[in-house]
Structure 1
Amino acid sequence: MYRNYFKTAFRNLWKHKAFSFINIMGLTVGMTACFLIFLYVRFELTYDAFNTKADRIYRVVTDIKTPSEVLKASGPAWAVPPNMKDEFPEVEAFVRISNQDMLVRKGDIKFQEENAAFADSAFFQVFDIRLLQGDPKKVLNDQMSVVLSETAAKKYFGKNNPVGQTLLFTNDGIPATVKGVMEDMPENSQVRADILVSMSTLTGRFNPGLDGQWGNYGSSAYILLKPHTNAKALEAKLPAFIKKRNGKEEQQSQMYATLLLEPLREVYLYSTRGGSGNINNVYIFSIIAIFILLIACINFINLTTARSTERAKEVGIRKVAGAGKPQLIRQFIGESVIICLISFLLTLGLAALLLPLFNQLAGKQVSEGIFSNRQYIGLLFLAAVAIGLLAGIYPALVLSSFKPIIVLKGRFATGVRGLLLRKGLVVAQFSISIALIIGTIIVYRQMNFMRSRDLGFNKDQTVILSTDGDQGKDAFKEALKSIPSVKAVSLSSSAPGTGNPAAYSEIENKKGDLQVANLDLYFVDFDYIPLYNIKLAAGRAFSRDFLTDTTQAMIMNETAVKLFGYSSPEEAVGRRFKQWGREGKIIGVIKDFHFRSLQQDIKPLTMRIEPGGCNLASVKIAAGNVPATLAAIESKWKSTMPNRPYSYQFLDDLFDRQYRAEERFGKLFLNFAVLAIFISCLGLLGLAAYSTMQRTKEIGVRKVMGASVPSIVNLLSKEFLKLVVISFFIAAPAAWYFMTQWLHDFAYRTPITWWIFAVAGIAALVIALTTISFQAIKAALTNPVKSLRSE
């Protein structure tokens, strides 16, 4: 019996090749897209899951309340973690991690390592990063101890054993001993570094006394709690702990810290303090995956039930021959499962082919290969069987319910309910497709809005080079002035988009009092403001004509002026300030400019002349022969800073890097939207073909009676186009709501205008009309004699 079912199923598939192709192709594309999205979502949701003690690891973060605002820091003060370990028996271990660029040398090999970090000795006790060589309890105990990843070990030592070998750090070539080699940290880990240096190197040698500082925030910190510890109960004890250890200093500085504990597994997707993931994007892609699979299943149901009249006689004969309804249901569900299993096999091949491209689009190694996690293949197989069962149930019930007497007499016709169902499913398909078109337009408008918005400064043709405090930086700046294509050079602590420190500040407010605030701070030189063409709102810029500008002058932005109660920039000029050991007056106010991502509001910013803190070179170059200019800059670099590797970035690339996550999201959104539309069109093509075939004789009669080709195309198209119009009115409000919620993550966002919906509606109509017209025009051009003979 089952052998006969298989024979019948494959004969039916082969007999109707076009419908079989559309069904299998739609399911294959849908399942492939769904599987790739599943890999992405699974990757995002399993960040830090490799840590077996993840349920006991918490990140320590801080709310810092000042008279002006509440600052949300992504870490505690340096002194907090070691003192928590001493104070609370619930804390088993702590790790502070400070990511820093480091100049590393070994003989002629030298790299400015961007993926390096200082870490406390308990690092390998807290995190499950496997050491390949070395004792996890000792490798980070001593000053100038280093642990390399496998990749870094090969880079510096090749095939030789690195343990016990020496590397030179910083400009001074300070020797450090390699104590261990660790496996490369997982891609979906928040803590990532190729080089770990013992924290005692930083707190004991480079910056002595750092362990005792309660007002300095410069590292991430994680604590490992003992088993069965209640994290909320511990968090409730932290206010008293801070008051006991640092209460007097807080009163004096008027800055009050509140410590909070974030579960490790929630930091990446849910934290608002430096968690680089976005749970909303995970939700969106999960919904898109469901929609794409739903569209593919709708195609299957639509095409199968539409073809029910062709199989009516087969059902009638089978029933007369003694087949019962359960047998027929099993047969038709079996055919559905067979189609899905064929799609499953094709999905494996297509997913394997597309995975490298998908990894590239996602900007991360979502999966090394589709067979790297075999349980996922098993899940895909079960999903294929489930889709076959669920998608096949309704067509099986419809086909098995035909009455043999009626169908064998030839009086069978599809019912109104079946027709309404097919129309409803088409509406559902195109509602999803139109919503995705609207979403894609809004996502790309937001990306273009961020790129094209006036940032308040000039970032064009600007090269950024990090000197990392090299003693030759001033000589390098002077040497660049001799290059004709170099227009201007400036040294500073930060450039827009590169990050900057915050400083404890006291600024005279409108009442005449010194108001405490934690303000963003740029150390600059006299050439910085002119180079970036930052506009003045009041007062003056730094000038070499005023000797006190190097020690007693500050410039702030318009947002800072408002923070201290001034109604105009002019009112702030001449007011007093105290900041990091400096005292003086505000000499000028600059207009607000976007020195951070457009996802964030402009923050209060201060600028001071501080040559010792200016390690970043900004070089404005002419737009002519850029390669020659870069070669000339490299030559000056090597002659003035020979021990430092030459590396540069263009500021516009550096600034745009802030939006890479959104760009990747936009590209993925676009690709999956196109897939959804493609699958919808496949289904529409199949239905149009079937509808045309059903009306072959009618078309022949109309042509004989003088109907034109356009009138026949209109006849066959208008019913489907009506469904697309209905879909638009369903999709538009839903898309507006969800995309409005998505845009809320951006401080500066594009408006959602009416023409977006108009474009999406017209695009859907054009796509549908193009799809339908292929069959409609073909039918309209067919010889009517041939059409009339077809029945």
Structure 2
Amino acid sequence: MLKNHFKIALRNLWKHKVFSFINITGLSVGITACFFIFMYVAFELSYDKFHTKVDNIYRLVTDIKTPSETINTDATSWAFAPNLKPEFPEIEAFVRVQRSGYLIRKDNIKFQEDNAMLADSNFFKVFDFKLLKGDVNTALTAPASIVFSETTAKKYFGDADPIGKTVLMSGDAVPAVVTGVMKDMPGNSQIHADLLISMTSLTQKFRPDIDKQWGNYGANTYLLLKPGSNYKALEAKFPPFMEKHNGKDARESKMFAKLLLEPMKDVYLHTTRGGQEVGSMSNVYIFSIVAVFILLIACINFINLTTARSVERAKEVGIRKVVGAAKGELAAQFIGESVVLCMIAFFITIALSALLLPLFNQLAGKTVSEGIFTTPGYIAGLFGLSVVIGLLAGVYPALVLSSFRPVSVLKGRFSTGTKGNILRKTLVVAQFSISIALIIGTIVVYDQMNYMRNQDLGFSKDQTLVLETDNDPGQDAFRQAISGLPGVKGATLSSSVPGGGENGAYSEIENSKGDLQVANLALYFVDFDYIKNYGIKILAGRPFSRDFMNTDTAQAMIINEEAAKLFGYATPEKAIGRRFKQWGREGKIVGVMKNFHYRSLQEKIDPLTMRVEMKALNKVSVKLSAANLPSTLSQIESKWKQYVPNKPYTYYFLDEFFDRQYRSEQRFGKLFFNFAILAIAISCLGLLGLASYATYQRTREIGIRKVLGASTTGIVNMLSIDFMKLVIISFLIATPIAWYFMHKWLADFAYRIEIQWWVFALAGTLAVVVALTTISFQAIRAALTNPVKSLRSE
């Protein structure tokens, strides 16, 4: 029996090649898209789960309360972890890490390693990053020890064994010994580094007193708790610990730190404090919903296309019933055909997935999977999903087809009834509601990305070249040398550039009441040309000037509007001349600058201070002329090699660098757009099926109307109007749902668009155009059919 069902299924599929192609294509594309989204979601949910001890690893974070604000940071003081471990038996081990950049040299090979990381000696005991060479117990113990990743080790040593070899580290050429080679860190880790440097290099060699600095925040700290420990109970013990060790200093400085613990497995998707890499749980939810929608649309298509074809098989069913076929047997036959079709779609999906995976990885901006066969469970799940889709999607058509009354069918009076029509129309409404919601979502995402790209940032980032000098002694001579080049409009030194992070500084600034108010403020160290070169507007007072070199280098500060508001000044002018104390410097505010976006547009503009501190500058920003750019870059490179010979010549353009902050949103937008297009395309196939069914049902009516003089346009309008009603209903359903979800998505941005009425109008217009195009194909074909053919059986 099964063999017979299988044969009939294949014969029917082959006999109706166009139908089979459309149906299998819709299913294959739908399942492939769903499979890719599933892999993406699984990858996002898998972050840091590969650590065997992840259930006991927690990230230590800090809330810093000052009289001005509460700062929620992922950083900790250097002193926290070393002092926590001896006092709390629940803590088995701790690891502090700090991402930084280091110049690494071996003979004539030199690279600026921007993805380097300082790490405590327990790093490989707490985390499951695989050490291929070296001893996990000692690799990061001694000062000036380095562990390279596989890829980084090959840059310096090729295929030779690097263990025990010496490289030179930083601009001071500190000798460092290679003590290990680790496997490249996996993509689903919030901790990423191309090389690790022993934390003792900092705590014992470069800054031996740093472990005692309770107010110096710069480390990310992870605690490994003993099995069975309650992290909330441990968290409750931290306030007395802080009072014991730092209470007096906290009261004097008016900065109170509260320690909290975040489960490591939750950090990537759930933290609100940031980190080396963070994801978005809302994006995971959105893509999961899109996957379900695409799968639902594919199943709806199958039902609509199969029932649209049911009239062609009505007589077959009638004859089989007359000769004794049971209803259950016929249902099993049609469900079997559905499963066969899904199995064909399954194998096509496997081929499509293998072929398109590299493109999908590129689109996602990360290696979601090395290959679809690397995780056999995914393939097994995909096979099971295909079978389930075949069974579920085939049930309704099977019940409809097996319920035909043979007498009515064989007399030519076949009709699937009002209930069938209502169900099919409901399914089309569901399809187009999803499609219109996705169109609205795509427009909103694009509009937000466009807004972020074109927003007035308050500074000039175009044609700005940035070079990292690592505080090289020749950096100022280099700046002066390139300032005279024909293609250079200006050059400036600083500790930070917009989008590149900033220092945080304990500050005391005189407020509007005349008191020194404590706050932890963002700080840029700059030279005298920074404000001019970046086109930052001064609202009150003056910029830094060489005319006041003696005072500006030691006693002057410029703040932004937000800082002026924080300290209670109604206008920027009232902040001029007020006192400040910051990092050992005392002086007066000489200027207030207009707010500019020194961080991503996802974050609000916080108070910012600027000071001239020539010893703390490590970046050169060069404003270029657009004319003859290659020649200018070549001349800059020549000057670099002359004045900064120990560092490799590397640079980036600020506009590209600043825009990298939005890479995750841009990737989300691209993925969303592509899956929305797929969903709309699959929906059109379903609409084509229903249009095909409707025109077949009305073939004789169309013939009579043509005989009576109806025009082709009139017939097309008649056939189209019912479907346009369905699209309008879909629009009314989709609009509030799409508005709600996109409004929630936009809430993650500090600076965002308002969803305008035209977004919905455009989405509705696009849906109508797409639907009309799809329907018109079938309607015009029916209208042009010779009426003699449709009426000859009457």
| Alpha-carbon separation, structure 1, partners of 2:499 and 2:215 | 25
Residue 19 of structure 1 contacts residue 686 of structure 1 at CA under 8 Å; is this kept in 2?
no
Alignment-derived partner of residue 488 in structure 1: 490
- Which runs of 4 or more aligned residues in structure 1 lie more than 4 Å from their structure 2 counterparts after TM superposition? none
Q: Distance in 1 between matches of 2:438 and 2:508?
A: 50
Distance 1:776 1:727 in 2: 21
2:719 matched residue in structure 1: 716
Q: Partner letter of residue 39 of structure 2? A: L
The match for 1:621 is 624
Task: Tell me, in whole angstroms, the C-alpha distance in 1 between the residues paired with 2:467 and 2:340.
Answer: 60
Contact 1:315 1:400 in 2 (8 A): yes
Cα deviation for residue 387 of structure 1 reads 0.6
Pick from 736, 754, 769 the counterpart of residue 739 of structure 2.
736
In the alignment, is the contact (CA less than 8 A) between 2:231 and 2:261 conserved in 1? yes
Q: Please tell me whether the aligned partners of residues 308 and 689 of structure 2 are also in contact (alpha carbons under 8 angstroms).
A: no
User: In structure 1, how many angstroms separate the alpha carbons of the residues matched to 2:650 and 2:791?
Assistant: 76
Residue 190 of structure 1 aligns to a residue whose secondary structure is coil
The residue aligned with 2:112 is 112
Q: Are the aligned partners of 1:22 and 1:683 in contact in 2 as well (CA < 8 Å)?
A: no
* 2:149 corresponding residue in structure 1: 149
- State whether structure 2 residue 220 is matched by structure 1 residue 217: no
Deviation readout 1:81-137 (Å, 9 max, x if unpaired): 111111111111100001100000001110000111110000001000111111101
SS at match of 1:59: strand
Amino acid at match of 1:713: V
Aligned match of 1:464 in 451, 463, 466? Answer: 466
Q: Secondary structure at the match of 1:728?
A: helix
Q: 1:658 matched to which residue of 2?
A: 661
Structure 1 CA distance for aligned equivalents of residues 462 and 412 of structure 2: 76
User: Which of the numbers 730, 738, 741 marks the counterpart of 1:727?
Assistant: 730
CA distance in 2, matches of 1:649, 1:438: 36
Select the residue among 297, 300, 306 that pairs with 1:298: 300
Shift of 1:305: 2.2
For residues 735 and 383 of structure 1, what CA distance do their matches in structure 2 show? 28
Structure 2 counterpart of 1:668: 671
Distance in structure 1 (CA, Å) of the matches to 2:74 and 2:273: 5
1:69-218 equivalent positions in 2, closer than 5 A: 69-218=69-218
Q: Where do 1:42-441 residues align within 5 Å? A: 42-275=42-275, 276-441=278-443
1:679 aligns with 2:679: no
Structure 2: which amino acid aligns with 1:174? V
Residue 571 of structure 2 aligns with which residue? Answer: 568
Distance 2:749 2:473 in 1: 41
Structure 1 residue 354: deviation in Å? Answer: 1.1
Query: Residues of 2 paired with 1:302 and 1:66: CA distance?
Result: 64
State the Cα distance separating 1:176 from its structure 2 match. Answer: 0.6
Amino acid at match of 1:698: E
Provide the rounded CA distance (Å) in 2 between the counterparts of 1:126 and 1:345: 42
Please state how far the C-alpha of 1:154 moved relative to its aligned partner. Answer: 1.1
Report the AA paired with residue 412 of structure 2. Answer: G
Which residue of 1 is the match for residue 587 of structure 2? 584
Partner SS, residue 224 of structure 2: strand
Residues 93, 126 of structure 2: 8 Å contact kept? yes
In structure 2, distance between residues paired with 1:267 and 1:549: 42
The one-letter code of the counterpart of 2:221 is A
Q: How far 1:516 sits from its partner (Å)?
A: 0.3
SS at structure 2 position matched to 1:421: helix
Per the alignment, in what secondary structure is the counterpart of residue 273 of structure 2? coil
Q: How many residues align?
A: 791
Give the 3-state SS of the residue equivalent to 1:125 in structure 2: helix
Amino acid across the alignment from 2:591: G
Name which of structure 1's ranges 699-708 and 732-741 shifts more when overlaid on structure 2.
699-708
Is 673-682 or 321-330 further displaced after alignment?
Answer: 321-330
- Give the letter aligned to residue 121 of structure 2: S
Q: Quote the Cα distance in structure 2 between the aligned partners of 1:154 and 1:466.
A: 24
For residues 336 and 245 of structure 2, what CA distance do their matches in structure 1 show?
A: 72
Aligned partners of 1:696 and 1:790 also within 8 Å: no
Indicate whether 1:645 and 2:648 are aligned: yes
Describe the superposition over 1:649-675 as per-residue Cα deviations: whole angstroms up to 9, x where unpaired. Answer: 111001101111100100000000000
Q: Look up the equivalent residue of 1:422 and give its one-letter code.
A: R
CA–CA distance in 2 between the matches of 1:787 and 1:360?
A: 52
In structure 2, relative to structure 1, the CA distance for the partners of 1:103 and 1:288 (3 Å cut) is same
Counterpart check, 1:558 vs 2:536? no
- The residue type equivalent to 1:336 in the other structure is S
Aligned residue type for 2:537: K
1:697/1:790 contact within 8 Å kept: no
Deviation of 1:322 after TM superposition, in Å, equals 2.5
Aligned to 2:694: 691
| 1:428 counterpart SS class | helix
Is 126-135 or 308-317 further displaced after alignment? Answer: 308-317
Query: In structure 2, do the counterparts of structure 1 residues 142 and 639 end up closer, same or farther at CA, with 3 Å as the change threshold?
Result: same
Q: How far has the Cα of 1:789 moved from its partner?
A: 4.1
* One-letter amino acid matched to 2:579: R
Aligned counterparts of 1:559 and 1:194: Cα–Cα separation in 2: 38
Q: Which one-letter code corresponds to 2:513 in the other structure?
A: K
Moved more, 719-728 or 773-782: 773-782
CA distance in 2, matches of 1:484, 1:331: 81
Structure 1: 5+ residue stretches without partners: none
Distance apart, 1:782 and its partner CA: 2.8
- How far apart are residue 790 of structure 1 and its match? 7.3
Q: TM-score, normalised by structure 2?
A: 0.98
Q: Distance in 1 between matches of 2:471 and 2:634?
A: 22
Inter-partner Cα distance in structure 2 for 1:717 and 1:617: 64
The question of 1:606 aligning with 2:606 is answered no
Contact kept, 8 Å, 1:67 with 1:515, in 2: the verdict is yes
Cα distance in 2 for partners of 1:769, 1:790 equals 31
Q: Which is further off, 11-20 or 551-560?
A: 11-20
Q: How well do the aligned residues superpose, as a CA RMSD in angstroms?
A: 1.1
Alignment check: 8 A CA contact 1:295 1:429 kept: yes
The whole-number CA distance in structure 2 between the counterparts of 1:172 and 1:572 is 41
Instruction: Give the aligned partner of residue 748 of structure 1.
Output: 751
SS in 2 for 1:483: coil
Unaligned runs of 5+ in 2: none
Comparing 4-13 and 88-97, the one that deviates more: 4-13
Q: Matched residues in 2 for 1:506 and 1:775: separation?
A: 75
Q: Distance in 1 between matches of 2:118 and 2:159?
A: 26
SS at 1:738 equivalent: helix
Hey, what does 1:7 align to over in structure 2? Answer: 7
Of 477, 480, 484 in structure 2, the residue corresponding to residue 478 of structure 1 is 480
Deviates more, 1:100-109 or 1:696-705: 696-705
- Tell whether 2:519 aligns with 1:510: no
Q: Distance in 1 between matches of 2:207 and 2:471?
A: 15
User: CA separation in 2, counterparts of 1:327 and 1:57?
Assistant: 58
**Whole-Å separation in 2 of the counterparts to 1:545 and 1:789:** 101
What letter matches 2:379 in structure 1?
I
Is the contact between residue 139 and residue 180 of structure 2 (CA under 8 Å) also seen in structure 1? yes
Do the aligned residues in 1 keep the contact of 2:106 with 2:156 (CA within 8 Å)? yes
Query: For the residues of structure 1 that align with 2:224 and 2:122, how far apart are their CA atoms?
Result: 10
Which of 520, 544, 562 is residue 546 of structure 2 equivalent to? 544
CA distance in 2, matches of 1:704, 1:589: 83
**In the alignment, is residue 774 of structure 1 matched against residue 777 of structure 2?**
yes
TM-score (norm 1): 0.99
1:407 Cα shift? 2.5
Partner of 1:38 in structure 2? 38
Does the 8 Å contact 1:493/1:524 carry over to 2?
yes
Q: Is the 8 A contact 1:103 1:110 kept in 2?
A: yes
Which residue identity is paired with 1:151?
Answer: T
Percent identity, aligned pairs only, is 67
DSSP-derived class of the 2:514 partner: coil
2:615 and 2:320 map into 1 onto residues whose CA distance is 92
Partner deviation per Cα, 1:187-221 (whole Å, 9 max, x = no partner) = 11111111111000011111221111111111111
Q: Distance in 1 between matches of 2:297 and 2:170?
A: 58
* Counterpart contact for 2:424–2:690, Cα < 8 Å: no
- 1:43 and 1:582 mapped to 2: Cα distance? 48
